[in-house]
Amino acid sequence: MNVKISTLPNGMTVATEQMPHLESAALGIWVKTGARDETQGEHGIAHLLEHMAFKGTSRRTARQIAEEIEDVGGELNAATSVESTAYYARVMQDDVPLALDILSDILTDSLFDEEELEREQHVILQEIGAAEDTPDDIVFDHFQAAAFRDQIIGRPILGTRQTVKSFSPEQLRSYLSRHYSPDKMIVSAAGAVSHEEIVRRVEEAFAGVSTPKPNIPAVTPARAPASYTGGEFRQTRDLMDAQMVLGFEGRPYYARDFYASQVLSLILGGGMSSRLFQEVREKRGLCYAIYAFHWSYSDSGLFGVHAATGENELAELAPVIADELMKASEGITLEEVTRARAQMRASLLMSQESPASRAGQIARQLLFAGRIITNEELMDRLSAITPQRLAELAGATFAGKMPTLAAIGPVAALPSLGELELRLGGTAPAATRTAARH
């Protein structure tokens, strides 16, 4: 690992890692802003802006953007998440300057043409409709909304039909100017790249973009702190199977138990050898798919279990999952910890063989940790995680805690949130719980 980092005069960070023997490169611009930074009236604008960035500049039409990158066999894409937005490309070594020029062009000179905006709004409305028709996808949106009830962090990234249709070019420009400042942007590249050349080209391309001075009052409102509420969402639909997510508050990026939570999720539901897969799917046959996950944000997180099953199995499935979570607080074996460490180590090292994965990893570490976390440091942190610590973490995460439940499909037989809470050692009556039922 040999990452080079430079900070430009305007505050933008450039980070690169040259990967020997590669003839291609992955590069992109990651911005520390996402759906969570929208105001109440901007729901979905972060995602819409990401789409509109590819719809034409003063130098290139939308078609020319697509043709120029594909003429050299490259790829261009973008993604919006809760706390960040990324614009990235994959090209051959000689075409890195072209990719950088296109990326800088779309982020500094997008036109936001009204006709293009209308077309792209229609495209996103189709995305919203497709998500609603995909239960195993939309159930996670409802899970997030129930976990962070009535908060911006709990809203779906795509927005709503009403908000998406309401945005104007002026609103897009306002959001861009408030959130896309150089001090919140990371240019990251990996593969066949030259750090000095990328620094020079980025500095030229973004020379006219400056970071607000410290003595000027911020025009961007501060993020509202996340407040985990727990709760439930149920939607009865005439489907062949039921999609269910049961979860709890997790750990933020900076928390002591962030990596321990990742390890715990692997032990519980990270593969075919995991506890939930073996007990729930293999031994009892209560579902056809099950896994655990841990999502982190800057000030909170979510630890959850997703399962897909038939209507007849649902009544037994949820209590068994709850029981398995509680069993984790009673003890974790050294064998399980060793296996989870190996999974994390292999996943990390394998991902570093891909320039696209490596560029993204570098950018995310700089955005959310403020520095590069070396493989050696990560391995040391994993080695410090003991079975006892994981058992204590399981107890602190699950036992007596307010759960979040989201379910879609034939869910009439699913136990109430209050019943599951009692099974997890809680005492609050079900009547006190907020639920959304459709």
**What SS3 state is found at 61?**
coil
What's the pTM? 0.93
**In Å, how far are 292, 322, 391, 416 from 423, measured between CA atoms?**
19, 7, 18, 11
Instruction: Provide the CA 295 distance to its chain's centre, in angstroms.
Output: 7
User: Comparing C-alpha atoms, which of 106, 54, 420, 17 is closest to residue 248?
Assistant: 420
Confidence of residue 140 (pLDDT cuts 50, 70, 90): very high
Per-residue pLDDT at 435: 55
User: How does pLDDT run across 95-117, given as a tens digit for each residue?
Assistant: 999 999 999 999 999 999 999 99
Two structure tokens written together for 1? 């690992």
Contact 247, 305 (CB under 8 A): yes
User: How does pLDDT run across 245-292, given as a tens digit for each residue?
Assistant: 999 999 999 898 999 999 999 999 999 999 999 999 999 999 999 999
Per-residue pLDDT at 430: 44
**In Å, how far are 70, 180, 365 from 84, measured between CA atoms?**
26, 11, 12
User: How does pLDDT run across 404-426, given as a tens digit for each residue?
Assistant: 999 999 999 999 999 999 999 87
| CA gap 146, 124 in Å, rounded | 23
User: Mean pLDDT over residues 291-310, rounded?
Assistant: 97
User: How does pLDDT run across 160-206, given as a tens digit for each residue?
Assistant: 999 999 999 999 999 999 999 999 999 999 999 999 999 999 999 99
Per-residue pLDDT at 148: 98
Terminal CA-to-CA distance of the chain, rounded, Å? 51
Helices marked H in 306-424? 314-328, 334-351, 355-368, 375-383, 387-398, 417-423
User: Mean pLDDT over residues 356-369, rounded?
Assistant: 96
Confidence of residue 432 (pLDDT cuts 50, 70, 90): very low
Per-residue pLDDT at 156: 97
Q: Which residue has the tokens 């109430």?
A: 416
The residues facing 186 across adjacent strands are: 13, 30
Per-residue pLDDT at 210: 78
Sequence letter at residue 315: A
| CA gap 293, 276 in Å, rounded | 12
User: Mean pLDDT over residues 425-437, rounded?
Assistant: 56
50 as an active site residue: the answer is yes
Q: Which H helix or E strand runs over 291? A: strand 289-296
Contact 277, 271 (CB under 8 A): yes
Instruction: Provide the CA 142 distance to its chain's centre, in angstroms.
Output: 15
Q: Are strands 242-249 and 301-309 parallel, antiparallel or unpaired?
A: antiparallel
Helices marked H in 10-134? 45-52, 62-71, 96-108, 114-132
Confidence of residue 222 (pLDDT cuts 50, 70, 90): confident
State the catalytic residue, choosing from 38, 42, 50, 249: 50
The CB density around residue 253, as the number of other CB atoms within 10 Å, is: 17
Per-residue pLDDT at 198: 98
Per-residue pLDDT at 217: 47
Confidence of residue 47 (pLDDT cuts 50, 70, 90): very high
Per-residue pLDDT at 208: 82
Per-residue pLDDT at 216: 47
In the chain, % of residues over pLDDT 70 = 95
Domains of the chain (ranges; CATH) run 3-205 (3.30.830.10), 231-437 (3.30.830.10)
DSSP string, 318-350: HHHHHHHHHHHTT---HHHHHHHHHHHHHHHHH
Residue 211: pLDDT over 80: no
Confidence of residue 221 (pLDDT cuts 50, 70, 90): low
Measure the CA angle with vertex 239, ends 234 and 240; round to 5°.
Answer: 125
User: Mean pLDDT over residues 366-388, rounded?
Assistant: 94
Per-residue pLDDT at 385: 96
| CA gap 74, 26 in Å, rounded | 10
Per-residue pLDDT at 431: 45
**In Å, how far are 72, 251, 407 from 392, measured between CA atoms?**
53, 14, 28
| CA gap 84, 94 in Å, rounded | 29
